[in-house]
Amino acid sequence: MKKSIEEWKKILPHEVFHILWDNGTEPPFTGKYVDENRKGIYHCAGCENELFNSKDKFHSGSGWPSFTKPINAKAIKKQLDLSLGMKRTEVRCALCGGHLGHVFDDGPKPEGKRYCINSKALKFKENDEKKR
Ligand code: FE
């Protein structure tokens, strides 16, 4: 299951590799899932790990797909990100380790979290909700 970065570079489209393995960020309001409203599951664009449920998606106005929580606590891992002179919490896929985005503390209640995730790090599969 575990692939090296060199292997991912061969497999993934360049722009997906840039997000997942070069900590890239897609420009706001450009990602295909910003305004996605269908019911389903958002998987990792690299390893297809289930990451987010559409029921936890909300329109944050940030320009990136936003979620109040991951599909379960084991789906993602968080780590401190001090790049660009900011103190942020980075969100990575727990299975393959790819970079997904960041989580902020300004989300809607009760969770109060905003998982700000790049569309290109995700692969949406419609009506897959029962597999939780
Ligand atoms: Fe993954």
Domain boundaries, the chain: 5-131
**Ligand 1 geometric centre to CA of 87 (Å):** 24
Asked if 116 is an active-site residue, the reply is: yes
Task: Name the pLDDT band for 100 (thresholds 50, 70, 90).
Answer: very high
Q: What is the mean pLDDT of residues 65-93?
A: 97
**Ligand 1 geometric centre to CA of 83 (Å):** 22
Q: In this structure, which topology does domain 5-131 adopt according to CATH? A: 2.170.150
**Ligand 1 geometric centre to CA of 49 (Å):** 5
Q: Is the pLDDT of residue 1 over 80?
A: no
3-state secondary structure the chain: CCCCHHHHHHHCCHHHHHHHHCCCCCCCCCCCCCCCCCCEEEEECCCCCEEEEHHHEECCCCCCCEECCCCCCCCEEEEEECHHHCCEEEEEECCCCCEEEEEECCCCCCCCCEEEECHHHEEEEECCCCCC
Distance CA 3, CA 69 (A): 26
Q: Is the pLDDT of residue 73 over 80?
A: yes
Q: What is the mean pLDDT of residues 45-65?
A: 98
pTM of the predicted model as reported, rounded to 2 decimal places: 0.93
- Which of 27, 4, 28, 25 shows the shortest CA–CA distance to 16? 25
Instruction: Label residue 44 exposed, middle or buried (CB < 10 Å: 0-12, 13-18, 19+).
Output: buried
User: What pLDDT does residue 130 have?
Assistant: 58
Q: Looking at 47, 93, 96, 116, which residue is catalytic?
A: 116
Whole-number mean pLDDT of the chain?
95
Listed residues: CB within 5 A of ion ligand 1: 44, 46-47, 49, 93, 95-96, 98
Distance CA 33, CA 64 (A): 8
**Ligand 1 geometric centre to CA of 98 (Å):** 6
Q: Which two tokens stand for residue 81?
A: 């990100």
Task: Give percent of the chain with pLDDT exceeding 90.
Answer: 94
**Ligand 1 geometric centre to CA of 92 (Å):** 8
Task: Name the pLDDT band for 104 (thresholds 50, 70, 90).
Answer: very high
